[in-house]
């Protein structure tokens, strides 16, 4: 399958061949769901912590005497039903991360790339970098392809430090290397701008 390649000025300059096994497969919604859930779970820090009645620093005395008040019997003031007492079944620090099968993750990425083509969100741009690392230069290129403020994903051919530096101050832009794609960003990105070499690398990286 052919795709148009644009210059940084937004003009069409040529076409390249995209691997149909990567950019033209039937979308697997199930694998996308699992890939996004996996990424979100792996990002969770899991540091939420509450104290049980055994851990709270509170008085051990009874709130009132055992008999004669007409109230229900009470133990100490650390009881979960008392103000300032412990918490019943509260969260404890835990690890939410888990490993997704490689075949599922691979299918999810190919499905997301194919979905971006089907929904006409994918734009191929000739290779460029930011020599000075200035945001103004990168923003000038992006305005030729996307409306300001729309969530955008930029897929690089490698981990370009200067390009990442230039993108830091653009709040709607998320920068990814071709071999470290994010299912969440590809799914929610309103526009996916991909460098020409990154597309060629993906042809081989996810090609069967």
Residues 104 and 138 in one domain: yes
> Could you give the number of structural domains in the chain?
2
In sequence order, what DSSP letters do the residues of 30-82 get, joined into one string?
HHHHHHHHHHHHHH---------TTTS----S-SS-SSSSSSPP---TTSTTS
Per-residue model confidence as pLDDT tens digits over 6-27: 998 888 888 899 999 999 999 9
Report the C-alpha dihedral over residues 177, 180, 183, 187, rounded to 10 degrees. Answer: 10
Residues 33 and 128 in one domain: yes
Residues 73 and 113 in one domain: no
List the structure tokens of 54.
């055994």
Q: Is the pLDDT of residue 73 over 80?
A: yes
Residues 156 and 68 in one domain: no
Residues 151 and 182 in one domain: yes
> Among 26, 61, 90, where does a domain finish?
90
Per-residue model confidence as pLDDT tens digits over 105-149: 999 999 999 999 999 999 999 988 888 888 988 988 898 898 878
Residue 61: which domain range?
Answer: 50-90
Note the pLDDT of residue 82: 86
Residues 153 and 108 in one domain: yes
Residues 158 and 188 in one domain: yes
* Full-model pTM: 0.83
Residues 170 and 198 in one domain: yes
Domain containing residue 129: CATH number: 3.40.1370.10
Residues 76 and 151 in one domain: no
Residues 84 and 144 in one domain: no
pLDDT above 70 covers a percentage of the chain that reads 100
Contact 135, 22 (CB under 8 A): no
Residues 143 and 75 in one domain: no
Which residues have a Cβ under 8 Å from the Cβ of 147 and sit 6 or more positions away?
A: none
Residues 86 and 176 in one domain: no
């Amino acid at each position: 399958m052919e795709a148009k390649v644009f210059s940084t000025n937004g003009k069409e300059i040529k076409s390249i061949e995209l691997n149909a096994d990567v950019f033209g497969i039937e979308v697997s919604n199930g694998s996308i769901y699992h890939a996004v859930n996996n990424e979100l779970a792996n990002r969770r820090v899991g540091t939420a912590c509450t104290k049980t009645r055994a851990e709270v620093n509170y008085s051990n005395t009874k709130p009132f005497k055992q008999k004669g008040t007409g109230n229900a019997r009470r133990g100490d003031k650390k009881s979960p039903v008392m103000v300032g007492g412990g918490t019943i079944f509260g969260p404890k620090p835990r690890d939410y991360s888990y490993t997704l099968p490689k075949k599922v993750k691979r299918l999810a990425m190919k499905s997301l790339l194919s979905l971006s083509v089907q929904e006409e969100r994918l734009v191929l741009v000739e290779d460029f970098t930011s020599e000075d690392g200035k945001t103004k230069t990168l923003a000038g290129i992006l305005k030729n392809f996307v409306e300001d403020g729309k969530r955008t994903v930029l897929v690089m051919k490698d981990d370009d430090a200067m390009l990442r530096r230039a993108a830091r101050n653009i709040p709607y832009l998320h920068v990814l290397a071709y071999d470290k794609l994010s299912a969440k960003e590809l799914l929610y990105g309103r526009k996916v701008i991909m460098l020409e070499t990154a597309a060629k690398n993906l042809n081989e990286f996810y090609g069967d």
